[in-house]
Structure formats: C-alpha cells, structure tokens
A and B are shown apart, each in its own frame.
Chain A
Amino acid sequence: MNERFVELQGVNKRFGTHPVLKGFTMTVGRGEIVGLLGPNGSGKTTTIRLINGAIQPDEGAISVAGYDPAHDGEAVRRMSGILTESASFYANMSGLDNLRFFAELYGVTDRRRPDELLEEFGLTTARNQKTGTYSTGMKKRLGLAKALLHKPDLLFLDEPTNGLDPEGIRMVLEYIVQFNRRYGTTMILCSHLLQQLEEVCHRYLFLQEGRVIEAGTLPELQARHCTEVRLEVETDLALGGDRFEGFAARRLSAGKVEFTLPGKAAVPALMRRVTQEANVYGAAMVGHDLESLYFKIRGVAAHE
C-alpha cells in the first residue's frame, strides 16, 4: 500500500444509546480505490461522515492527509468530494445553478467547470432545467458532477450507480477509474452492487456491526477464503464417474461440467486434458468473485 492517506484507529460512534461504530480501524493509501462492503446499518455512511468531519467520533483517532477532521474539518472538506444517498439538491434551482452555487462554496475559480462537468455527465441539455424535475439517474449524475467540481484529492461515493440505467452505470464506472488514474484521487466507495465494485476497486474492507471484519485485495481475499476452486466448463466431455483426472467432477447440464480443484494452479493442466478428450466451448471459475467472498466472509464472521 502507498502512503497512508486516511486512517481510523479504534473509532467508536454512538447515536443516542445506539452504537454504530465499535473500535473501528481502517487505513486507505493515497491514490487507492477502496470499497466498503457491508449490510445496511454496518456503519458505512457513518464512516464517510466521520472522515469528512461532519460528525465527531466519541472515541478514537481519525487522520486524513495528516489532518484531524474534528479540528481541521475545513481543510479536510476542501480536499474532499462527496456523494451520499441522502444528500439532495435545491429543487427550485437548475442543474447549472446548483453546480455554480456549490462551485462558490468549494472555492472553484474556473467558471467553465460546472458546464464542463454537465457535459461530461450528459446533462448539457438539462442544464437549465430545475433539478426538481430531474430523474433519479440525472440527480445521481449531477451529484457526481458536484462531488468532482473542485477536483478533490479524496472522493467518497455512496452508492454511486443507484438509479442509473445500464449505459449510465457503465459511464460512471469508467469515469471513476479514469479520474483516479488521471488525478491519483483516493476514493472510498460504498455499494451493494458488488460486481460493479469489483470492476473499480483496488482493495476491499468488509464491515459488520460497526467493525472491519476483513480487508484486502481480491487475490488476497481469494487466497484466504477460497480453499478450493470450482470451474464450470461448457463441454461435451463424457464423465465416467464423479471424478476426472483425480478431481471431483459433476454434470450440471447436458453441455456443462463442474470441476472442484484445490487451487487455481490446477486449472491449466485440467483444461489441457479436457481439450484432449472433448470439445470445450467455454470455462469460468465460480465462487471466486467478490459476491461469493462477501457471503463467505460474513458467514465466517457470523459463526465466530
């Protein structure tokens, strides 16, 4: 991991008597895109609000680029862009006027910046339309444009693709990756759409009941939690029993066989043998993706 950019150490946060974060500890490196994963109420949004300095922790230490958000909140907010599910726009103002207003609050001096972003997010034709008439997807794209107005060093994106159509989702995900590459922006993403996170995040933090229960890159998590590999092969291979070349095998359908292997390393040798004996039309590893890992990790945590 690069230089530590965001750090939370033993953070506790309660709302009234209800504890939301309990000894929460996490680190995000500069330029990293980190995904926060967890069920509703696991503390994702609270974490974002604490890092931004909008609310204060009851105990523990938070550092963002060397600043303590509780005391240097303005400095943290100046370098942060944020998109949350609950934040709204001024419905009686146009999309352009909303962006111009926030550009002033964030001290953006480039007067063309709101128009540039409206164009990048496909909102130019709706620029003078009141945001009260915007669809959910348009509001989401405007929210992203607002978060990026001042080219922040740190970007918080809470469900950035909710309400978007497939084209919108593709556009936003590509934009996030490009923005990170171009400006080296550190990003913290929350989403329930794990497949989308897999496309953009460098690392993942799994949250449960206000704690980080697991953290790592996808290969690290796979190495830790996937003790076997399931390989689904589209083939006309004739199976003689429940094993093939010493590996467990079962027919899923007329043209599909599933092999269970001890690890990824066994895949090439197996595939060579299958192609020698039959036609192969396609193959995919299952149970290795982020979604499968999510349920595995949560399942393990529930049993502990």
Chain B
Amino acid sequence: MNKQAIWAIARKDMRAIFANLQVWLPMAIVPLLLGVVMPSVIVGIAARVPMDQAGDFQKMAQWVGKIPLPGLAGDAAIEQRVVFLIANYTLAAFFLMIPLMTASVVSADSFAGEKERGTMETLLFAPVDLLSLFTGKVLAAFIPAVGLPLGTFALCGVAVNIAGWNQFGHIFFPQWNWLPLMLLVIPMVSLATIFITVFVSARVATFQAAYQMGGVLVLPVLLIVGGQVSGILMLGTLLTTATGVVLLVVNVLMLRAIMARLDRGRLFEGQIR
C-alpha cells in the first residue's frame, strides 16, 4: 500500500467535488433538509400537539405508551414519550440516506470520471498499485459520506432538542444507542455501497453508466437496511455494535473479492478510446 499516493488521490478527488458549486451545494442542502429541517419540524409538531384532544393522536399515544423506551423514565408523560420515540427511534433512516446519496455521486465518478476526462491513462502509468488506487478512490467518497452525516447529526441534535425543549427542559436526543449506529453501522453500510459503486465505475466507461448500474446494485441494500435501521436502534447499544461488526467483516470480504477482480490491463484497455 502506498499511503502517500492514497491520500494524494483522495485529496485530489475531494478537491474536485468542493471546487464545483453545482456538485457540493446539493450535497450540503439535501442533508440539511433531511437531517435538520425535517426532524426538527416533526419533533416540533409532536411536542406541541395536545395528545388528549386529537382523536388519532390519542390512539397513537395509547400505543406509544406500551413501547419500552430505554433512557426515558417509566412515568414520563405521554407527550414526552411520543417526542422521545420520534426523535430517538425514527430518524435513523434519514442519516442512512444522507451518506448513500453523497457517496453514490462521488464513487460513480471515481474511475468512470477519470476515463471520461482522459486522465485514467496518466493515472495508470504512475507507480501506484491497484489497491492503493482503489483505496484512494474509496476514501474520497467515504470521508464526505461519513463526515456529512456526522456534521448533520450534530446540527440535528441541536435543532431537535430546541424543538422538543418545551416537553423536557433538558437534552433528550441522542441516546447512547446512536453512537454505534452513527460511528459503525452507517459508515459500514456507506462503505459497502461505495465499494460496489467504485467497482462498477472501474468496469464501465461513463459516469452515467456507473451511476445507473451502481444505483441498481445499491438499491436493495438501501431498501433492506433502510427499512430495518430504526429497528436496529431498538436492539440496544450492544446489538447495534454487533451489527456494525458484522457489516465490517462483510466489507473486508467484499474488498478481497473486488481486488481479485480488478486488473490493471483490463482497466487500461477499458479506457482506450
């Protein structure tokens, strides 16, 4: 592994993202909408709806009252229980979508973009082994894919606590179970999708093809994990951590499988125009 080359490639690719306003602006706006505005609006509404008056809310409140909510006192008011449940157990899917959206654009461009710009040949002539080249490309997608949701999550924490402050009067979000989710599960899911998309990008000729094909392959991951991610939070800190570790092992196996199929000659011949 050539660490100097890995960082040079990753920095160069990230610079390309942030040098283009049309690329990074949507990457910043969408997380703000999904991870800050929407959660704080939902929590804000939930924190201000009188549960004893709204018919449908009353039914929901009765159901919420039966759900065990670790981290909240057993005698908490039903309004607090609803806000606590929404904030701590339903927002996870948003934070899974943010890195996947970020990563898909960057990783689809990784190799296909080099081919389209005619720079792939220059890169393949350099004394950089394929694992380092692949790692540099993966890092360029992984760093924003992890950094962006973490930053959004910090802002979300502030916004959600302000939105639900009238119910609690103290910080109630996030609970400890978010820690392994944000630091392990979501980064590992992101990494898996990046691996797949970067590999697809290495195999196809254009960004468009990489984006479309990568999307087709990543969509099942998104549907399976996205649908279950709130449930993972219900499992508690230990099981969430275990899920992250399993995903880590899956990623290691996937990386090995990808590297066995990545070939310099094929990459080179694939970019000859």
Contacts and interface: CB of A to CB of B under 8 A. Distances in A.
Interface of A: 15, 49, 52-56, 73-75, 77-78, 80, 82, 84, 86-93, 101-102, 104-107, 146
Interface stretch (B85-93, B118-126, B239-247): B118-126
A62 to B, nearest CB: 13
Contacts of B15: 93
Contacts of B129: 74
Given A84-B121, A92-B19, A105 B265 contact: no
A82 B125 CA distance: 7
A53 B117 CA distance: 22
A109 B121 CA distance: 23
A52 B119 contact: no
Interface of B: 4-5, 7-9, 12, 15-16, 19-20, 117-119, 121-129, 264-265, 268-269, 272-273
A90 B273 CA distance: 18
A90 B117 contact: yes
Contacts of B273: 86
Nearest to B129: A74
Interface of B is mostly: helix
Nearest to A109: B4
Contacts of A49: 268
23 contacts: A15-B269, A55-B268, A56-B265, A73-B264, A74-B129, A75-B127, A84-B125, A86-B121, A87-B125, A88-B117, A89-B119, A89-B122, A92-B19, A93-B12, A101-B8, A102-B122, A104-B5, A105-B5, A105-B123, A105-B126, A106-B126, A106-B127, A107-B127
Given A53-B264, A88-B121, 12 more contacts: A54-B264, A54-B268, A55-B264, A55-B265, A56-B265, A84-B125, A86-B121, A88-B117, A89-B119, A92-B20, A105-B126, A105-B128
B8 A105 contact: yes
A74 B129 CA distance: 7
Contact of B16 (A88, A90, A104): A90
A73 to B, nearest CB: 7
B117 A77 contact: no
A74 to B, nearest CB: 5
Contact of A104 (B4, B19, B125, B264): B4
A89 B19 CA distance: 16
A56 B5 CA distance: 23
6 tightest A-B contacts by CB? A88-B118, A104-B8, A77-B127, A78-B127, A105-B126, A87-B122
A56 B265 CA distance: 6
Contacts of A89: 119, 122
A173 B54 CA distance: 86
Nearest to A76: B127
Chain A CB count within 10 A is highest, among B9, B121, B126, for B126
B118 A54 contact: no
Contacts of A106: 126-127
B81 to A, nearest CB: 52
Task: Count chain B CB atoms within 10 A of each CB in A52, A82, A105 and give the residue with the most.
Answer: A105
A302 B129 CA distance: 43
A85 to B, nearest CB: 10
Contacts of B119: 87-90
Contact of A87 (B7, B118, B264): B118
A88 B122 contact: yes
Given A74-B129, A104-B4, A87 B121 contact: yes
A92 B15 CA distance: 9
Given A86-B118, A86-B121, A55 B128 contact: no
A107 B4 contact: yes
A107 B265 CA distance: 23
B127 A92 contact: no
Contacts of A93: 12, 15
Contacts of B121: 54, 84, 86-88
A55 B268 CA distance: 7
A164 B74 CA distance: 80
Contacts of B9: 105
Contact of B124 (A54, A91, A92): A54
Nearest to B9: A105
A75 B124 CA distance: 13
Q: Interface centre among A52, A80, A101, A102, by most B CB within 10 Å?
A: A101
Given A74-B129, A82-B125, A87-B122, A55 B269 contact: yes
Contact of A92 (B8, B16, B122): B16
Nearest to A49: B268
Nearest to B122: A87
A192 B45 CA distance: 74
Contacts of A74: 127-129
B206 to A, nearest CB: 16
A91 B272 CA distance: 19
Contacts of A92: 16, 19-20
Contacts of A54: 121, 124-125, 264-265, 268
Contacts of A82: 125
A66 to B, nearest CB: 17
Nearest to B268: A54
Contacts of B268: 49, 54-55
Contacts of A107: 4, 127
